[in-house]
Chains A and B, each alone.
Chain A
Amino acid sequence: MPDTTEIQDRETKRNLTPYLLIAPVVIYYIIFWLFPVINAVGGSFLSTSLDKGGIFTLANYKAVFKDPIFWQAVINTTIIVIISVTLEFFLAFGLALLINVKFRGSSFFLFLAIIPMSLPAVAVGAMWNSGLATYGWLNSFLIRIGLIDPSNKILFLAGTHFSRMILIILVDAWQVIPFMMIILLSGMQGLQPEMAEAGRVFGGNRWQVLRKITVPMLKQTIITAMILRIIAAIQIWLIIVMIFGFNRLPVLMEQIVLNIDQYMAEEFFRKGMALSVIVAVLVSGVSFIYLKASGAFDDPGSREGDE
């Protein structure tokens, strides 16, 4: 990474180039993303055709906030995000530390770990539906290896609200932990081993070295992994619907899809738009706070020239 003074030197000379390089992205996103988004945001403030049609209203937002399922969805989403991100982070971090040691077959293991990410949604749905069912392969397997008795099948899908949530978190973790692990692992491989060794030489034990040296040096990577995961975890919905259907374990994204795509009526559609805006604001708020708190904005690599 070039150091800061060097960058500032050059900045005056190449004023236009970065903007030219950025231009295609900006144009592309204005056409294919910003227009539809403005459409959606605008639509969320319009009344339905049954209700004088197309005038400014806050009714859609009121409808969202009045809906008890919305609040339940907020709570569920919060719980899922907190548990799943924490769990996934620690598991992925542990795995990454483990694999960071060179061993035979590590590259093959990496390959295995990436496969779940490249599976199509229909495969994931079929896999877990046929697995978690009472007469599914998971129970069959447990019976075949003698862990459970045929008469004591585990009712994976019949549990309480909370156990359903845990199930979803585990199934989701199965698919995304590798992703997190790869980000963390790549960060670790960029670290110089000498640093950690120096720590050991000066009498730190393994745990201290990890906490005081490895983690701080991995800060950027950890922030990246966490923010991508938080955004993705807030948007978990498909696996929930594939296993439990709509409205059984309400979460924010699922409620958006439900209102926009399933009810097929204008009032719900507009409510769904309002919900989308709320969720977008929520997600960006959370990520902004997270980025600010973790200091992502003041790292030298991304410092603004005009500050």
Chain B
Amino acid sequence: MTNNLRRNAGRTMRMTTIYILVSGVAMIIIFPMFFLFSFSLMSDYETYSEWPKPLLPRTSVDYRMDHSGNGNFRLSIWNVSENDWMPFGPEELNRNPDEIKKLSRFLNNYGNTQFSEEEILTAMKLTDQDGFYEFALRKSLIHNYRRFFKLYSGAARSVLQSLYTAGMTIFISVSIGGMAGYAFARYVFKGKNILKLSVLFVRMFPPVAIAIPMVVILGKMGMYDKPVGLSLIYSINQISMNIWITASIFMGIPESLEEAAQVFGTSKTGAFFRVTMPLAVPGLAACAMYSFIYSWNEVINAVILTQFNPTFPVVVYKSLLGANAQVHLIAAGSIAQALPAIIFTLFIRKYILQMWGGVKV
């Protein structure tokens, strides 16, 4: 009885320690990503002019308009960290329509708040009346994302290009890699060790040294600006990975099952497709998702190899070129790009352990 109690207490202690440790590690993992996400919802002003930087984005912004002497106006913004009004926008404002238009655009781009030209004129009138005018504007949280997607009308099409490329990469690398993986798992043959080492060696030669010739070979084959061409390049890395993973998967499926099927009169091939394949599918699917993530994130080759049919990461990359020192826009772009990969990760998590279960180099 006491023994039992003690064991229970020990167990509880252990589980508590585990939970504390696990949540600590989870925090470390989440933290940097949390900030990136938080930035993607902030305005330029929040990300750069608040110090210390806010942890969470604000949903509304307070502004104040004053006279700057000689009948002109100036605008201030409420800086939460400083707990004070800080100058914001041009030093002096007048009623010149061009200036007002510029200010409206400024508030939109750097404050992520909407304030139309008429509203600015009204604010000026009220300032003239009372000497100052304070107003709060709702901050658009998705402003950075919207800006990013509005700009690139081709974004939607490029997502499909990316999916197609990923699909082809999965097809090529899983089929070719899977065949080799099966051979490694089931057969003993001459030169097996050398082949296994070469598969490893493929990953050792610095990719940058062979990128251009590789790409030129593709170009000569007429694969320029086609998803198929890209997927052929992506497969180089993925095949070696898939060989290991599939070998591990097939090793985990007892060969006796195939033999049993053959006893009942199926051909060898039939046995493979009817017995082994269905068992291997979850692992293969996970393997496919892995290839998906790689192909989805690749930019360096895609930038050179596409022109009219860019993949989504290329569109993100190009649009971020103009986002110099605007980390909130970069954050929005990269999160938009990362999201699909993260969702797929959610799907593979159940299979990922099986996939690596028996991997041997």
Tell me the A residues contacting B by CB distance below 8 Å. Answer: 1-2, 7-8, 10-11, 14-15, 17-19, 21-22, 24-26, 28-29, 31-33, 35-37, 39-40, 95, 98-99, 101, 103, 105, 107, 109-123, 126-131, 135-137, 139-141, 143-144, 150, 174, 178, 182-183, 185-187, 189-190, 220-221, 223-224, 227-228, 231, 235, 253, 256-257, 260-261, 272-273, 276, 279-280, 283-284, 287-288, 291, 296-297, 299, 301-306
| B188 pairs with A21, CB closer than 8 A | no
| B18 pairs with A98, CB closer than 8 A | yes
Contact A272 to B358, CB < 8 A, known contacts A103-B15, A122-B330, A127-B32? no
Whether, in the assembled complex, B277 has its beta carbon less than 8 Å from a beta carbon of chain A, the answer is: no
5 closest pairs, A vs B, by CB? A123-B334, A36-B210, A140-B52, A276-B209, A18-B187
Task: List which B173-196 residues lie within 8 A (CB) of chain A.
Answer: 175-177, 179-180, 182-184, 186-193, 195-196
Interface centre among A136, A140, A272 (most CB of B within 10 A): A140
Whether, in the assembled complex, B119 has its beta carbon less than 8 Å from a beta carbon of chain A, the answer is: no
Question: Contacting B342 at CB < 8 Å: which of A11, A118, A260, A273?
Answer: A118
Whether, in the assembled complex, B150 has its beta carbon less than 8 Å from a beta carbon of chain A, the answer is: no
List B contacts of A128 (CB < 8 A). Answer: 32
Whether, in the assembled complex, B22 has its beta carbon less than 8 Å from a beta carbon of chain A, the answer is: yes
Interface centre among B36, B51, B337, B350 (most CB of A within 10 A): B36
Q: How large is the interface on B (under 10, 10 to 19, 20 to 34, 35 or more residues)?
A: 35 or more
Tell me the B residues contacting A by CB distance below 8 Å. Answer: 14-15, 18-19, 21-22, 25-26, 28-33, 35-36, 39, 47, 51-55, 175-177, 179-180, 182-184, 186-193, 195-206, 208-210, 213-214, 217-218, 232-233, 235-236, 239, 243-244, 251, 254-255, 293, 297, 299, 313, 316-317, 320, 327, 330-331, 333-335, 337-338, 341-342, 344-346, 348-350, 352-361
| A223 pairs with B361, CB closer than 8 A | yes
| B193 pairs with A18, CB closer than 8 A | no
Question: Contacting A284 at CB < 8 Å: which of B193, B195, B204, B350?
Answer: B204
**A190 to chain B: closest CB distance in Å?**
5
| A118 pairs with B345, CB closer than 8 A | yes
Contact A115 to B345, CB < 8 A, known contacts A122-B333, A189-B353? yes
| B345 pairs with A187, CB closer than 8 A | no
